[in-house]
Structure 1
Amino acid sequence: MSGSSGTASGRLRRVSLLTWIAVGSLVAWGWLLLGQGGFWRTDVRLPPRPDDEPGQRPPEERARGDEPETWPSVAVVVPARDEAGVLPVSLASLLAQDYPGPAEILLIDDGSTDGTGRLARELADRTEGGLPLTVTSPGEPEPGWTGKLWAVRHGIALARAREPAPEYLLLTDADIAHAPDSLRELVAAARASGLDLVSQMARLRVATFWERLIVPAFVYFFAQLYPFRRVNRPRARTAAAAGGCVLLRDAAALHARVPESIRHAVIDDVALARAVKRGGGRIWLGLAERVDSVRPYPGLGELWRMVSRSAYAQLLHSPVLLLGTVAGLAVVYLAPPACLLGGALYGNGAAAAAGGAAWAVMAGTYAPMLRYYRQPLWLAPLLPFTAALYLLMTVDSAVQHYRGRGAAWKGRTYSRPRRVPEERFDPADSGRPDPANPR
């Protein structure tokens, strides 16, 4: 009799725990839906001109009369390491920019071994009437610098040595292809809205099964961490950018001591946005319409490495944050289908209903991102499976970090950075005189 009673009591405890987990997950999704800055919305696009009506006239249909009479000078800085495979598309799109003002491209060949620099020069020679191109190499990075930021520093210093120095810097990755009016639209938006930093998250390639499963979720999770609307509020503390496409006002970069102040950052785009916003600059982040990544990630292995190389750095290399993230992913993403199935198995209608409702909200918030990527909506209910993969990638990122192979990219590995001491910024390091202290 007592054994039967004990079995019933154990089953009751399991049912009760399952219900609480399901309800907790549903509450979490209710908060994410309503209280996380509308992260699931995909209508945050390039700021409209003041004389544009919302939803009217896409960029290609805007009249030239809407644009400024004079256009500021821009230096396009492209750090490139072994990028010969993508340059024929990405660099060609930059050379063909339809920009009315003075602009040039500075491609910084960061120790490539595949002929990146040579190919870049050949592409420029073949492009009639394209933007002028300079190809240079910074040498190996100094201690305390990541390779990309060392290349960016070299490009910015070269740009500032021009006379006159550019008003804007376009920092764009070597795998990013731009529509012909991309630079024009970025500059027009920055000028019209008084923005110091304008960043568009390039549309990543989605062609294979694994890309369809993982890539839209990658952007979805990023937006959940850094809701675009919250990023774009001047008084909000949240700051982020998408490193593939960042238009930066040079005066704001000087004020924020960029890139020197973030030289050790593995997740350099978020660090850049934080530095600019902390310095009082106005920033904007949104989804791109016609800025695309042409880098393929056809298999699970390539996508796994893309995520895991920086996932633990995102958690500040903290075991506590890692445990919290794993627990959070489990409760928010894995619990809803588990509670639905467990509730059905144990006859727990409350757990099944709460789990099913949480799963439905999850899929509903994911649907807009799938539409943005032009993917079928039947992928939305598979988000828990994708989240499980991201959980494993994050754990693997921590494992690789403690094995000394964390944050590896193209032959370089970055360990946890030591604290960079505060130092007085010497304007001479920037290649540009200090307007407050002329020499």
Structure 2
Amino acid sequence: MLVVGVLALAALAGWLYLALGHGGFWKTGPGLPPGADPSYWPEVVAVVPARDEAAVLPETLPTLLAQEYPGTFSVIVVDDGSGDGTADVATRLGDETNRLRVVEATERPPGWAGKVWAMSEGVQAAGAPEILLFTDADIAYAPGTVTGLVRAAIAGERDLVSQMATLNTGTRWERLIVPAFVYFFAQLYPFRRVARDGTRTAAAAGGCMLVRREALAHAGGLDAIKGALIDDVAFGRLVKRAGGRCRLDLSRDVTSRRPYPGLTDLWTMIARSAYDQLRYSPALLTGTIAALLLMYAVPPAASLAGLTGLATGTGNAALPAAAGLLAWTVMAATYTPMLRFYRLSPLRAPALPLVALMYAAMTIDSARRHRAGQGGTWKGRTAARGRP
């Protein structure tokens, strides 16, 4: 019981730090500031890398083409070697507007990740707009979103403004795993620290990244992250480490229409890049799993062990019971705002340790896949091992 109590105290100390001193990672607001309209509206070109996206484009591309932006706004869809008629679907959706161009990505050079190469091809086709908006093919935009992004960039003097899209929670597995996915991302990259100048914390959300073209060029361009599997985090680091000012928010105005109906779909989505996040390091993998067990498994385990000990008269049971319950409570409290953002019951919050254990298993499986030469597989491609 003494050892369990010490572990529970360590977990409690960790959760108190996360809740009080980790950049308010658990807060989901306030979103983009309203701000005043700028004196001019710069030209914006949206670049949409698309590989086998014919099914989802009819739900998303019209929302981008319909944006009522006060300045010049156009969209480039880069067909990245699709085999399902993606280019034809995009062309048909853009028939009634002069805002859309569809370009075919040329053969991907060695060392480039597929999506980053498609983004680069879009930049080449865009010419010289002041603002680039990188967005995924599965992302839908509420009216006025592009205007709000540009307004925030100009008013806040930001070089990069990124919005993490609201993900689907239509199925049982999505409701269980998706809010935790966003919660863990925010824990790794607290949004408020991303926005704070002078900090090392840097990230972006790949579904919506609005960047000043000159800032991207100053940072070295997409060539500098050409092999990135987790391209959005690499993109945020690239801009911020070059002195760029960044902003990252969670948004209801930007939504993903990509479904992950089953556990297998979600598992594959997470496992394909988790080990890349750990730089393919067995030491980091071991440390990460140990940290997950300490922070998420110990509190409920210590609570149950302590309460059982109190009921049976076991000595030293009060410490693990009290520390475990308090750590578990703080954990659930920090998760509740994310559940509310996704309009889910806060009663789900105490189950976060079970979801964290699933993420630990996905991370281990990600390492297994990389060792088997199957890491980073997505839409028929297997990314080369490496990290810029």
Q: 2:314 aligns to what?
A: none
Moved more, 290-299 or 342-351: 342-351
Cα pair 2:34 2:148 within 8 Å, conserved? no
Query: What does 1:293-304 align with in structure 2 at a 5 Å threshold?
Result: 293-304=256-267
How many residues align structurally?
A: 382
User: Displacement, 1:140?
Assistant: 3.0
**Code of the aligned partner of 1:30:** L
In the alignment, the residues of structure 2 paired with residue 213 and residue 233 of structure 1 have an alpha-carbon distance, to the nearest angstrom, of 31
In the alignment, the residues of structure 1 paired with residue 370 and residue 289 of structure 2 have an alpha-carbon distance, to the nearest angstrom, of 17
2:340 to 371, 388, 393: 371
Q: Is 1:229 aligned to residue 192 of structure 2?
A: yes
Q: 2:321 aligns to what?
A: 352
Q: Is 1:39 aligned to residue 9 of structure 2?
A: no
1:317 to 277, 280, 301: 280
Q: 2:313 aligns to what?
A: none
In the alignment, the residues of structure 2 paired with residue 141 and residue 341 of structure 1 have an alpha-carbon distance, to the nearest angstrom, of 54
Q: 2:350 aligns to what?
A: 381
Q: 2:90 aligns to what?
A: 120
Any idea what SS the aligned residue of 1:107 has? strand
Q: 1:417 aligns to what?
A: 386
Any idea what SS the aligned residue of 2:249 has? strand
In the alignment, the residues of structure 2 paired with residue 238 and residue 68 of structure 1 have an alpha-carbon distance, to the nearest angstrom, of 29
**Code of the aligned partner of 1:31:** Y
Q: Is 1:89 aligned to residue 59 of structure 2?
A: yes
In the alignment, the residues of structure 2 paired with residue 340 and residue 192 of structure 1 have an alpha-carbon distance, to the nearest angstrom, of 49
2:12 to 22, 26, 38: 26
Cα pair 2:162 2:248 within 8 Å, conserved? yes
Any idea what SS the aligned residue of 1:149 has? helix
User: Displacement, 1:345?
Assistant: 2.4
In the alignment, the residues of structure 1 paired with residue 305 and residue 379 of structure 2 have an alpha-carbon distance, to the nearest angstrom, of 44
1:215 to 156, 159, 178: 178
Q: Is 1:306 aligned to residue 269 of structure 2?
A: yes
In the alignment, the residues of structure 2 paired with residue 31 and residue 68 of structure 1 have an alpha-carbon distance, to the nearest angstrom, of 40
Provide Cα deviations, 1:5-38, integer angstroms capped at 9, x if missing partner.
xxxxxxxxxx111111111111111111111111
**Code of the aligned partner of 2:88:** R
Q: 2:204 aligns to what?
A: 241
Q: Is 1:76 aligned to residue 62 of structure 2?
A: no
Q: Where does structure 1 lack aligned partners over 5 or more consecutive residues?
A: 1-14, 50-65, 421-439
Cα pair 2:140 2:254 within 8 Å, conserved? yes
User: Displacement, 1:103?
Assistant: 1.3
Any idea what SS the aligned residue of 2:247 has? strand
User: Displacement, 1:78?
Assistant: 0.2
Any idea what SS the aligned residue of 2:210 has? strand
Cα pair 1:76 1:104 within 8 Å, conserved? yes
Provide the identity percentage.
54
Indicate the structure (1 or 2) with the bigger Cα radius of gyration.
1
Q: 2:104 aligns to what?
A: 137
Cα pair 1:201 1:288 within 8 Å, conserved? yes
In the alignment, the residues of structure 1 paired with residue 196 and residue 107 of structure 2 have an alpha-carbon distance, to the nearest angstrom, of 38
User: Displacement, 1:247?
Assistant: 0.3
In the alignment, the residues of structure 1 paired with residue 39 and residue 251 of structure 2 have an alpha-carbon distance, to the nearest angstrom, of 25
Any idea what SS the aligned residue of 2:4 has? helix
Query: What does 1:90-239 align with in structure 2 at a 5 Å threshold?
Result: 90-125=60-95, 127=96, 130=97, 132-160=99-127, 165-239=128-202
The RMSD of aligned alpha carbons is 1.1
Q: Is 1:398 aligned to residue 373 of structure 2?
A: no
Q: 2:34 aligns to what?
A: 48
2:331 to 355, 362, 365: 362
Q: 1:251 aligns to what?
A: 214
Any idea what SS the aligned residue of 2:94 has? helix
User: Displacement, 1:332?
Assistant: 0.1
Cα pair 1:94 1:178 within 8 Å, conserved? yes
Q: 1:407 aligns to what?
A: 376
In the alignment, the residues of structure 2 paired with residue 250 and residue 309 of structure 1 have an alpha-carbon distance, to the nearest angstrom, of 30
User: Displacement, 1:219?
Assistant: 0.4
Any idea what SS the aligned residue of 2:107 has? coil
**Code of the aligned partner of 1:335:** V
Runs of 4+ in 1 over 3 A off after TM superposition: none
In the alignment, the residues of structure 1 paired with residue 39 and residue 92 of structure 2 have an alpha-carbon distance, to the nearest angstrom, of 34
Q: 1:428 aligns to what?
A: none
In the alignment, the residues of structure 1 paired with residue 80 and residue 274 of structure 2 have an alpha-carbon distance, to the nearest angstrom, of 24
Cα 1:48–1:78 change in 2 (3 A) is same
User: Displacement, 1:415?
Assistant: 2.9
In the alignment, the residues of structure 2 paired with residue 44 and residue 329 of structure 1 have an alpha-carbon distance, to the nearest angstrom, of 28
In the alignment, the residues of structure 2 paired with residue 68 and residue 225 of structure 1 have an alpha-carbon distance, to the nearest angstrom, of 33
Cα pair 2:56 2:137 within 8 Å, conserved? yes
In the alignment, the residues of structure 1 paired with residue 377 and residue 245 of structure 2 have an alpha-carbon distance, to the nearest angstrom, of 32
Any idea what SS the aligned residue of 1:260 has? helix
Any idea what SS the aligned residue of 1:257 has? coil
**Code of the aligned partner of 1:327:** A
User: Displacement, 1:237?
Assistant: 1.1
Q: 1:59 aligns to what?
A: none
Q: Where does structure 2 lack aligned partners over 5 or more consecutive residues?
A: 311-316
Any idea what SS the aligned residue of 2:375 has? coil
User: Displacement, 1:343?
Assistant: 1.3
